[in-house]
Copies of this chain bind each other. A is one copy, B any other.
Amino acid sequence: MCPATSNEDIPRGYIIPIGGGEDRERDMQIHRRFVELSGGADAAIVVIPTASMLEETGPDYHRIFSELGAGQVEFLPISRRADCDNPEFADLIDRASGIFMTGGNQLRLSAILGGTLLAQKIRRRNAAGVPVAGTSAGASIMSEHMVAGGSSNAAPAEGNITLAPGMGLTNAVIIDQHFTQRNRLGRLLTATSYNPFLIGIGIDEDTAAFIGPDNVFEVVGSGSVTVVDAGQLTHSSMWDARPGEALSLLGLRLDVLGEGCRYDLTARVAYPPDEHLAFCSLPVSSGDPPPEAEG
């Protein structure tokens, strides 16, 4: 399953959606792994704080990644579309070994970055092997189909989710964040039943899915990643349900993955922490050994 690493076939970089609310003070294991993947002391990390309206967001991540030993950290003060044409910013993206998108409002992020040269460069850098991470809004925007909003409810219902075009780093998944904390299973069921091609990934706070070049992701953090797979759907009443009518969705698969579990997005199979792809797993951070196979 490990992709070839020859020059003709460069594997794409990790895609790392984070569910928001991640630890930024103590172990910072998610950020630590991201820095490690970005090259550690040789890393050149670029932070895009555009989703956030808070002035301190960029500087805050500058502190975090610097503390974790990243060689170089920059944040791009992009607050309008014209900023995306700044050649200095383009140059920083071109030289980045890791890109991080902060939380905030994903529609602000997509409205400002969408269709710009900078967004294209981020996609190309990721395709060339550079890891791209994003938390909360920054996680939602990564997929081709982005969750822009919706209601909190355990039950699926037509119209309880708002989709918008995202950045398109992957089109295999649709990503939701603050998942358990904000009770978002219903809307993720809705999204995956709209088109069962998509695998729904609901990421809890302080939790990340490290999606490798082989389309296998590993869970890192204190929460769970819930995977909704409607690929075996045998029946859906979504298309002809009357407003307010309870839906039928038969044949869904559900996996709840704790830390260390892996999920193969191609085969649509989940693996416990102690199985599968050991030779292909995430690099081990020197400061934060991976959990033992205890579950």
- Return chain B residues, CB-CB under 8 Å to A251: 253, 255, 270
* A280 in contact (CB, < 8 A): no
Contact B272 A250 (CB under 8 A): yes
Contact of A261 with B240 in the complex, beta carbons under 8 Å:
no
Whether A261 pairs with B256 at a CB distance below 8 angstroms is: no
B256 touches A295 (CB 8 A): no
- CB within 8 Å for A241 and B295 given contacts A235-B270, A251-B270, A272-B235: yes
- Cβ 8 A contact of A255, one of B155, B183, B252: B252
- Given A237-B258, A240-B295, do A180 and B204 touch, yes or no (CB 8 Å)? no
Contacting pair A248 B237 (CB below 8 A) = no
User: Is A246 an interface position by the 8 A CB rule?
Assistant: yes
**Nearest neighbor of A221 in chain B, beta-carbon distance:** B246
Contact (Cβ within 8 A) B155 A272? no
A50, CB-defined interface residue at 8 Å: no
The SS class assigned to the A binding surface is loop
A180 to B259, CA, bound (A): 27
A153 at the binding interface (Cβ < 8 Å): yes
A217 CB to closest chain B CB (Å) equals: 13
Q: Is B270 within 8 A of A250, CB to CB?
A: yes
Given contacts A235-B270, A235-B272, A272-B234, contact A257 B261 (CB under 8 A): no
Are B253's CB and A224's CB within 8 A? no
The verdict on A20 contacting chain B, using a C-beta distance below 8 Å, is: no
Q: Which residues on the B side are within 8 Å of A189 (C-beta)?
A: 256
In A241-295, which residues have CB < 8 Å from any B CB?
A: 241, 245-259, 261, 270-273, 294-295
B259 touches A255 (CB 8 A): no
Range of interface residues on A (Cβ < 8 Å): 35 or more
How far does the Cβ of A191 sit from chain B's closest Cβ, in whole Å? 14
- Report the Cα distance A154→B184, complex, angstroms: 8
Once the chains bind, are B234 and A270 in contact (CB under 8 Å)? yes
CA gap between A236 and B273 in the complex, in Å: 11
How far apart sit A97 and B136, CA to CA, in the bound complex (Å)?
56
Cβ of A185 < 8 Å from any Cβ of B? yes
Evaluate contact between A224 and B261: CB separation under 8 angstroms.
Answer: no
What residue in chain B is nearest A222 (Cβ atoms)?
B246
| A140 beta carbon closer than 8 Å to chain B | no
Q: Does A207 contact B (CB under 8 A)?
A: yes
Contacts of A223 in B (CB 8 A): 155, 246
A interface residues (Cβ-Cβ under 8 A, vs B)? 153-156, 179-180, 183-186, 189, 204, 207, 222-224, 234-237, 240-241, 245-259, 261, 270-273, 294-295
A223-B246, A237-B258 are known contacts; what are 5 more A-B pairs with Cβ within 8 Å? A156-B256, A245-B258, A249-B256, A250-B256, A252-B253
